[in-house]
Chain A
Amino acid sequence: MSRLPPIDDPRSTEILEPGHTFASVTDKISAIVLAKRTPRFWWVGFLFAFSVTLWLFAAIGYLLLKGIGIWGVDVPIGWGFAIVNFVWWIGIGHAGTLISAILLLLHQEWRTSINRFAEAMTLFAVAQAGLFPLLHLGRPWLAYWLIPYPNTMALWPQFRSPLVWDVFAVSTYATVSLLFWYVGLIPDLATLRDRAKRKFFQILYGMGALGWRGSAAHWHRYEVAYLLLAGLATPLVVSVHTVVSFDFTIGIIPGWHATIFPPYFVAGAIFDGFAMVLTLAIPLRAVYGLEGFITLRHLQNMAKIMLATGLIVAYGYMIEAFMGWYSGNVFEKYTVWNRITGPYRHYYWALIACNILTPQLLWFKRIRSTPWILWCIAMVVNAGMWLERFVIVVTSLHRDFLPSSWGMYAGTFWDWSTFIGTIGFFIALIFLFIRFLPMISIFEMRTLVPEADVHGEPQPDPGRIEGEV
């Protein structure tokens, strides 16, 4: 951390450290991938994450062998860790899409240095999220019955169920995110192909680059495709978590059946997503010496977004509690009261502390500009958002209408194994990504170099238009 510039350093407001040239940008980023020697810390980190991943696979194997009973779910609480984790991971993905699509359309240049790995994060988070709805089924091998496909049983899914909407929402999201990420990678894959020394990598990257030669026609088509995909992805930022929130709002359970859920879920997702981007970006820039590309300006901007979305989330909590009282409905009222004072009150107050109180520190510029504090706040928010989903899923179910059926829930060893396992899997994928693909978009970074700023006719290139947040 000592290498970081002091807070009042003028460079901290830049989105690219002064002094970079086209060549230096390309060299710096591609060197991480093309370095012959894999750094020791990479091996340590990757192997640790990979062994956690293996434990995830063991947990999944045992689950398939024995049944869902190895988890803590029971009869009032039919959904537990699996759905909590699903919503959490899906939420994390949202920041990536927001950064790549919406900020692109809004011409926020500063997104350039973080969009690539934020998108990768999205993909990997969605992959983790996707595991849970499958695994939480009583008979996971029949999960394909949720997909409408022609079959001899002449049966379709039941389209009124939000779980079917989830299938569409999440699969669309995963597909678009993958395409978006891949299309953005093509010019950089070509760069790697050209710079790779070893035949194997030349072929590998060459195949990935799909014959990219950098001609004007290529660039033109690329720009059009990228813009279209950004347009496609934009509504997804809002729609996916809205649909996920329908899983709850369509239900009649007090604590679920609330109209505030869609906006509040989307805001929560972005809140958490940016927390996760910060969680990844801060160590990465330190370890790989990328402070010049991911500058304090980036961190500050992300902190501001977190603060804003965090306030929306706080408003959501307030409205939930208010409506519980205002509705006059005995069940709603009790659910709120039970969250605040019931057996899960510690979870509730912890989530308030994590998601409402802690982010208030971001009002202070000093804190926004201190990476390690930012990182800690981001971690707190990550945990808080997991708690939020836990509170929504579990406390609503554990005491609903008939007190005779009230029950308690706690994750078992296997619940925790699966949850921690997906974190390991996610980190392992991130490690692979930073080793084999450029974690910062090379060609887009090059557009930030002063030489690229050609004064003349305004270009439609969205990446080049300057703007402030």
Chain B
Amino acid sequence: MSTNPRLLPTLSANAGPVLDLEALRRRLETERGHGYWRSLEELARTPEFEAMLRRDENAVAAEGFDRRDLIKFMGVSLALAGLTACTRQPTEKIVPYVRQPEEVVPGGRPLFFATAMTVSGYATGLLVESHSGRPTKIEGNALHPASLGAADLFSQASIYTLYDPDRSQTLEHLDEIRPWAAFLAAARRTADEERKNGGAGVRILTETVSSPTLALQLRSLLGALPGARWIQWEPAGADNVRDGARTAFGEDADVVTDLGGADVILSLGADFLACGPAHLAMTRQFARRRRPENGEMNRLYVVETASTVTGANADHRLPVPAREVERVTRAIASAVGVAGAAGSGSAASGSNAFVAAVAADLKAHAGRSAVLVGPEQPAALHALGHAMNHALGNFGKTVRAIEPVADRPSNQLEALKELCADMAGGRVSTIVILGGNPVFSAPADLEFGAALAKVPNRVHLSLYKDETSAACQWHIPETHYLESWSDARAFDGTASIVQPLISPLYDGRSAHEVVAALAGLPQSSGYDIVRAYWRGRMGRDFEASWRRALHDGVVANTASPEKRVSIVQVRQAAASSAAAAAPSADALELVFRTDPKVYDGRFANNGWLQELPDPITRTTWDNAVLFSLATAQRLGLQKEDVVTLTVGRRSLDAAAWVEPGLPDGTAVLRLGYGRRRGGRVASGVGFDAYGLRTSDALWAAEGLTVRKTGKSHPIACTQMHQNMEGRDIVRAESLEDFEKAKTKEAEGGHGGKEAPIGSLYAPHPSDTYAWAMAIDLSACVGCNACVVACQSENNIPIVGKDQVRRGREMHWLRIDHYYGGLPQNPRHFFQPVPCMHCEDAPCELVCPVGATVHSAEGLNDMVYNRCVGTRYCSNNCPYKVRRFNFYHFSTDFRPPSMRMLANPDVTVRWRGVMEKCTYCVQRINETKIDSELAGRRVRDGEITPACAQTCPAEAIVFGDLQDKESRVAKLRESGRGYSLLADLGTRPRTTYLGAIRNPNPALGEPVTTSFPPTMLDVETGQK
């Protein structure tokens, strides 16, 4: 009705006000509601226009239609409506590649590209498998110092996040979709405004930045706005590490440990095998020294509060409450000769023997030992750790200091406190949050959310519309690292170019682009920005170096230079932290730790990680609050009881779980769960530990009270029994016993070798290959990386909490975890269990339709098409490695966008079909075809199943038994080789190498797999 032509000239005559862009912009700033408009006049919404609208309405009403006209018009409309179908569709031709992209074989072989992913600022180099331009799997980059060919859970599972349909897809302002240009306009206006007072009201909040490009960008932005501040905040940050180094050395330095040369390792709460910027490299160094055949085994002592993978691999583990760690450390430090380390009071009773043994062992291995301190420990402990390494002469040998990697190392917590104070005090007018989720993860006492609300302009860049996005006016969807250009540095400073594998799936921007836009360079693409940084920093031939850096995944010669440091101030460091007053015997403390699966909450919407069992408790989809057996008994708690945790005036309801080996009086709660927003997977799972976490007690809070609510919360646990029940499952013994047995055997005594089981049948003739796998339980650290690798490679669906509770998880490869010894401080044993590919497979015998059959190469093949789903094979499998599609898991729990994730080389299974580990038969066949084309046999090590490929500990070896020289053939024959449940006569192709532990004879803690029945065995009604 506004299109009445007779009325338009009136407005056109008043062109002035219509084109008053300034007024227009002013109005749009305050505008809410739909952003579209039909004409410039409407956009301007001048009084004239309003008047015209009213006139227009009146005019139509006055003119009106008579009844006949109305019917005529209706008739014509109806007739014409039909004509739309007569429109000729434009011809759309499908054209094959006119210019085929370099090296792409459509529908054929995948390509691999090097890139890197950062967690808390530190990069891990990766190779990403890409099928016709679609990234499908993430593997480690052997050239990268933090990967060495392995990849951890987070990086492998990040491909799931790329295709996650819950990712934020549109730029929004106050929940309404806006174009990028709208943001740019707003940004420009705000920048103009802020520039007037030198940017004093501007704050930029990022996570830890190690990207040299982003750091430079931010610095130049700050140069233009001298009053602005840049704050970095990680909920699980390294403040203590940095402060400790500064205390110890008097300057900033990062410390890098090389465990290859360490005979004795002392970890003070450092989970260096599963967490931290160098954990993959350190796991490799550690595991190489865990095989008795490789020469002298290392010995690991761990003092820790919450159970970690590292503690589980310790030869001696001392569980102590968080408040006691410092005392034990001081005692050890003092004993190894750190002057002034001894604090007030002696070490906790019961730990004296431990302290003496560790100190003696460290001193005996001076220069060949290493002391590591966890980032959760106070700075003083880090200083003591450095002092101990110094006193032991480890610097320059196993430990070296380097220039700090992260840009602008500073105390993040102090900066965040200051920011919150500024925001609350109204001194911040604009805040740009680049990544991170501080509303969720900031310490509760800082009231970050409330302070943020006082900032007039709030911008948040993030992958998901999370709690922080909801508190900001502008939400910019962030590109995934596989969609955008960037760079990052590894733990040793080595830089990598982060190159994208795919164009952004949604309308996302990278932090580089947002910062460029803020700096008034909206046209810059991430590619140009990153290249511009490196041009001139990569040697003379930039293009060649650039291509080399992209190809290798590392920029040559960028590792941080070694730094000469000396210990300056240990005495002061020792004095600086007051020894905690000894609390009463039944006082409780609450310890916060990052989660081994969702880390600080950033991976909470990742289904693979949520469904991954916790390495120790084997629970999925929740973060129960963990108690030791004695504490649980004292408090009258059972697994799954909901308890109210109260610290100070904050409280939280959480489900309880019992874990042997925790120190008594300690409750452990993992961070990152209990998300309120941020995706369908994340929301409503677990309990929000951040709600109890305050800035003065980031990692441990005293004065916890626990009250039973009488309710219970179901927890989905994949392994209800972690007790071997005296069965021969994981073979483990001490190095001493192992050496003795070996000597005895050499002298002609009875060795540990199992007698071969006789068979009435002639052995299967095999003149091709005989595939087999050997898993070294001595090397395996139980980190779960192989489980995610398998899930990614083999299109294994997730099934959700309810189905996991019913015992229907689909992991082809699981890691069994067992306790041994005493429940107060048990030994831990991990055992990865893939299909055993039995030569006499019980499953094959009972399948009525021959859907599981033996291949000539000894694989136990599963023919999905033939399977009718009797589940008899699974019943008859003594290892229970078979997985059944009780529902259509491949689609029921996988939204359409996730189909891009599937590996095209592996069948996606249908409802009602059995499946299991295939030894990655697709990889076997691919390599076999190559070798046949080349007219040769497959060489040893040429085929690597996904699990073996990603294993940082190199615990899984795959190969051909026909080749007597292959690694797997030799490992099977080694003194530690054994078959699981060999007595059944299944003759498994997957065999194990027994776990050898290297306990200190002085401490007399035997290596035993027996474990007494405990209240753990109480049924929780699961499944």
Contacts and interface: CB of A to CB of B under 8 A. Distances in A.
B720 interface: yes
Interface in A392-437: 397, 400-410
A250 interface: yes
B1023 A408 contact: yes
Contacts of A142: 868
Contacts of B393: none
Q: Residue among B816, B874, B880 with the most chain A CB within 10 A?
A: B880
Contact of B725 (A79, A139, A334, A410): A334
B807 A138 contact: no
Contacts of B779: none
Nearest to B887: A69
A35 interface: no
Given A67-B887, A253-B878, A408-B807, 17 more contacts: A75-B808, A75-B883, A136-B870, A137-B868, A138-B870, A138-B885, A139-B911, A145-B849, A157-B849, A167-B848, A343-B1019, A402-B816, A402-B880, A403-B721, A403-B729, A407-B1023, A408-B720
Contacts of A334: 725
Contacts of B721: 403-404, 406
Interface size range on A against B: 35 or more
28 contacts: A67-B912, A73-B886, A75-B809, A137-B869, A138-B868, A139-B868, A158-B850, A160-B846, A163-B848, A163-B870, A163-B872, A164-B848, A250-B845, A250-B846, A252-B876, A252-B984, A253-B878, A331-B727, A343-B1019, A401-B727, A401-B981, A403-B722, A404-B722, A405-B880, A406-B720, A408-B1021, A408-B1023, A409-B1023
Interface in B262-301: none
B714 to A, nearest CB: 13
B1023 A74 contact: yes
Interface in B981-1023: 981, 984, 1019, 1021-1023
Contact of A139 (B816, B872, B913): B913
A78 B833 contact: no
A152 to B, nearest CB: 14
B869 A163 contact: no
B847 interface: yes
A156 B851 CA distance: 11
A73 B882 CA distance: 14
A72 interface: yes
B771 interface: no
Contact of B846 (A76, A251, A343, A407): A251
B719 interface: yes
Main secondary structure of the interface of A (DSSP, over half): loop
Contact of A330 (B727, B870, B872, B1022): B727
B529 interface: no
Contacts of A75: 807-809, 874, 880, 882-884
A408 B1022 contact: yes
A250 B872 CA distance: 11
A167 B849 CA distance: 12
Given A139-B911, A404-B721, A407-B1023, A78 B872 contact: yes
Interface string A363-404: 000000000000000000000000000000000010011111
Interface in B708-747: 719-727, 729
Nearest to A133: B870
Contacts of B803: 69
A78 B868 contact: no
A185 to B, nearest CB: 34
Q: Residue among A250, A251, A253 with the most chain B CB within 10 A?
A: A251
B880 A76 contact: yes
Interface size range on B against A: 35 or more
Nearest to B912: A138
A146 interface: yes
Contact of B719 (A343, A404, A408): A404
B842 A251 contact: yes
Given A138-B885, A158-B850, A67 B911 contact: yes
Contact of B848 (A77, A157, A253): A157
Nearest to A166: B848
Contacts of B886: 67-69, 73-74, 138
A78 B875 contact: yes
B807 A68 contact: no
A138 B913 contact: yes
B914 interface: yes
Interface in A131-161: 136-140, 142-143, 145-146, 155-158, 160-161
Contacts of A66: 887
A337 to B, nearest CB: 11
Given A74-B1023, A330-B726, A79 B871 contact: yes
B867 A155 contact: no
Contacts of B1022: 407-408
B183 interface: no
Contacts of A409: 1023
Contacts of A251: 842, 846, 872, 875-876
A409 B871 CA distance: 15
Query: What are the 10 tightest A-B residue pairs by CB atom distance, in nearest-first order?
Result: A138-B869, A138-B912, A78-B871, A74-B807, A69-B886, A405-B880, A404-B816, A163-B848, A158-B850, A139-B912
A206 interface: no
Contact of A161 (B848, B867, B880, B913): B848
B866 interface: yes
Interface in A303-327: none
Main secondary structure of the interface of B (DSSP, over half): loop
A72 B1019 CA distance: 17
Contacts of B833: 402, 404
Interface in A66-103: 66-69, 72-79
B888 interface: yes
A162 interface: yes
B879 interface: yes
A157 B872 CA distance: 14
A248 to B, nearest CB: 9
Given A397-B875, A407-B807, A68 B848 contact: no
Nearest to B816: A404
Contacts of B911: 67, 138-139
Given A137-B868, A158-B850, A404 B806 contact: no
A145 B863 CA distance: 14
B474 interface: no
A146 B808 contact: no
Given A253-B876, A407-B720, A68 B850 contact: no
Contacts of B809: 75
Interface string A233-265: 000000000000001001111000000000000
A253 B875 contact: yes
A339 B872 CA distance: 21
Contacts of A404: 719, 721-722, 729, 814, 816-818, 831, 833
Contact of A138 (B719, B727, B808, B914): B914
Contacts of B842: 251-252
Contact of B879 (A73, A138, A140, A401): A401
A53 to B, nearest CB: 25
Q: Residue among B817, B868, B913 with the most chain A CB within 10 A?
A: B868
A252 B1023 CA distance: 23
Interface string A148-192: 000000011110111110010000000000000000000000000
A69 B981 contact: no
Interface string B881-896: 0111111100000000
Interface string B816-856: 11100000000000010100000000100111111000000
A447 B707 CA distance: 80
A75 B807 CA distance: 6
Nearest to B618: A404
A176 B214 CA distance: 83
A184 B878 CA distance: 48
Nearest to A412: B806
B640 to A, nearest CB: 14
Given A137-B868, A163-B872, A409-B1023, A402 B846 contact: no
